[in-house]
Amino acid sequence: MPTSSPVRGRLAALTAPAELVRPEGGKVRCVACGHRCLIGEGHEGVCRVRFVSDGVLRVPFGYVASVAADPIEKKPFFHVSPGATALSFGMLGCDYKCPYCQNWEISQTGRDPEADEFARPRRTSPEELVGLAREQGATMVTSTYNEPLITSEWAAAVFRPARAAGLLTSYVSNGNGTPEVIDYLRPLVDAYKVDLKAMRDEPYRSVGGRLQAVLDTLRLLVARSFWVEVVTLVVPGFNDSDEELRDAARFLAGLSPDVPWHLTAFHPDYRMTDRDATGLRSLLRAVEIGREEGLRYVYAGNLPGRVGDGETTRCPACGTVAVERRGFRVLANSLLPGGLCPGCRTRLAGLWTVEEALAARPDPSPGPKLTPSSASA
Ligand code: SF4
């Protein structure tokens, strides 16, 4: 790894050999994210944190850049163990370069010299993180803050003992995946949040991604029975036309009407300060579009207490309130055991308790968690 800055020199020591890699024509092909970088000796991938040294792809390992006990609703997962705590950890680096990133201090390491100033990697072990999760009363361990796909080997090392200890595991990700990384994660990850940033290729190109890679990943995640929730930050002039939002809603409803869609309000941040925050009307219009297109669970985020029932889970069959929230707080959870509606006993899609989530794991109890759209007319 080039060591042009002190932080990159320090990071080079905090690595392990990659598992998501294959040799190709004298170089190595990284398959951890949709960029699929072909990397030669002495070079690094687009993410700047995976690099080839002595013929081996070295990847981030054995540290965290940030760790906190967060409400699970902050990830956001609204249909997984409501009110639970998620021990959240992040490393450094990202395969994207979003100008509105809220975690740019850790995600843009190696790409933005200002971010390098903030980088404080702290050595740790999977066992220490699992111990911390227990100490904090967490029921989930989450790889978040930076893009988890690019540090999947470390997440795997943490998730193995976490799962053995009865903890749930999750990814909070941009969804720029590959079939290889999804297969790798399937035995290790219960819940997967995907940030669907737009429904056009141009905005995706502007942040360093490709729309198709994210759509393919979403399809695969649902087909492989991960519990999936999707977030779209509604950014004025970037992705907020009715037409584009409708296309996104249609796509998600086509995967499954049970995929929760979180529409969150943008605030000017990092390098995107040239436009206003998302207005309340605009956010509520987006929620309406999601519902019109057949999604059963559409939420409005980042404007707590101002979005009517945009933070509430209602039974899609009879409309009874099942879970009431304000911001990241659960005010009331009226679901009956098994995720049943308290009004009509319809089952609401989700991993509502830890026990339910453990029983839904692919090994030894396979079973789809989302209703395929073809069976939901
Ligand atoms: S994680 Fe993605 S960006 Fe990084 S080296 Fe691998 S393919 Fe390239």
The pLDDT tens digits for 156-206 are: 999 999 999 999 999 999 999 999 999 999 999 999 999 999 999 999 999
Q: Tell whether 124 is covered by a domain.
A: yes
Counting residues of the chain whose pLDDT is more than 70, the rounded percentage is: 94
pLDDT attached to residue 110: 79
Written as one letter, the residue type at 217 is: T
Model pLDDT for residues 249-267, shown as the tens digit of each residue: 999 999 999 999 999 999 8
Confidence of residue 376 (pLDDT cuts 50, 70, 90): very low
Residue 183's contacts (CB-CB under 8 Å, 6 or more residues apart) are: none
Atom 1 of ligand 1: nearest residue by CA position: 150
Ligand 1 centre distance from Cα of residue 116 (Å):
19
Structure tokens at 274: 């040239």
Confidence of residue 12 (pLDDT cuts 50, 70, 90): confident
Q: Tell whether 332 is covered by a domain.
A: yes
Q: What is the CA radius of gyration of the chain?
A: 20
Atom 7 of ligand 1: nearest residue by CA position: 36
- The CATH number assigned to the domain holding 106 equals 3.20.20.70
Q: Tell whether 34 is covered by a domain.
A: no
Mean pLDDT of the chain: 92
Ligand 1 centre distance from Cα of residue 89 (Å):
20
Judged against a pLDDT cut of 80, whether residue 75 lies above it is answered with: yes
Kindly state the average pLDDT of the residues 339-354: 97
Q: Tell whether 131 is covered by a domain.
A: yes
Atom 5 of ligand 1: nearest residue by CA position: 45
Q: Tell whether 106 is covered by a domain.
A: yes
pLDDT attached to residue 363: 64
Tell whether ligand 1 has an atom less than 6 A from the beta carbon of residue 111.
Answer: no
**Number of domains present in the structure of the chain:** 1
Among candidate residues 214, 17, 201, 1, the one with its CA nearest the CA of residue 109: 1
Tell whether ligand 1 has an atom less than 6 A from the beta carbon of residue 33.
Answer: yes
Structure tokens at 8: 């990159």
Q: What share of the chain is helix, strand, coil (3-state, %, to 5)?
A: 30, 25, 45
pLDDT attached to residue 113: 82
Tell whether ligand 1 has an atom less than 6 A from the beta carbon of residue 180.
Answer: no
Ligand 1 centre distance from Cα of residue 86 (Å):
26
Flag whether the pTM goes above 0.85. yes
Q: Tell whether 31 is covered by a domain.
A: no
Domain that holds residue 218: 64-375
Lowest mean pLDDT among 8-22, 50-64, 315-329: 8-22
Q: Which atom of ligand 1 is nearest to the CA of 150?
A: 1
Kindly state the average pLDDT of the residues 123-134: 98
Cα dihedral angle (351, 352, 358, 360), rounded to 10 degrees?
Answer: -40
Model pLDDT for residues 55-65, shown as the tens digit of each residue: 999 999 999 99
pLDDT attached to residue 171: 98
Do 89 and 62 form a contact (C-beta atoms < 8 A)? Answer: no
Q: Tell whether 365 is covered by a domain.
A: yes
Atom 2 of ligand 1: nearest residue by CA position: 33
Ligand 1 centre distance from Cα of residue 207 (Å):
15
Kindly state the average pLDDT of the residues 292-307: 95
Q: Tell whether 45 is covered by a domain.
A: no
